[in-house]
Structure 1
Amino acid sequence: MDAALDLLRAEGFAVRAEDAAWLSPLGFDHINMFGRYAFILPDRVARGELRPRRDPAIVDDET
């Protein structure tokens, strides 16, 4: 999340610290709160690369 926020700031988007403080990965379905995690990583992520971020100008109707 920090990398995405840094990229947004570098591109000129206003990212307020008080908004970023509310971000958490715990709201996502892929997070298991019971302590057992299994990840199948795409090759590029396994190499340490980040996935491309979504274009904020494109509205995602699935959220």
Structure 2
Amino acid sequence: MGKTGSVEWVKLKGRKGQIRLVPRKNANTKRPGPAQRYDPSGKIRRKIKRSAKAIVKVS
């Protein structure tokens, strides 16, 4: 357990444009859905690279 307020949050944009917060360590990868869980060789994919457009830039 981290100390209160120790998690850094990042804004991400969803497919419909809605914005949500995720911890910074999960900002560059996402968990695949049921149809994308297996790669062509049959291994389970645990993480997928997130689109660069999904990360909201803070200005």
- In the superposition, the TM-score normalised over structure 2's length comes to 0.25
Identify, as 1 or 2, the structure richer in strand.
2
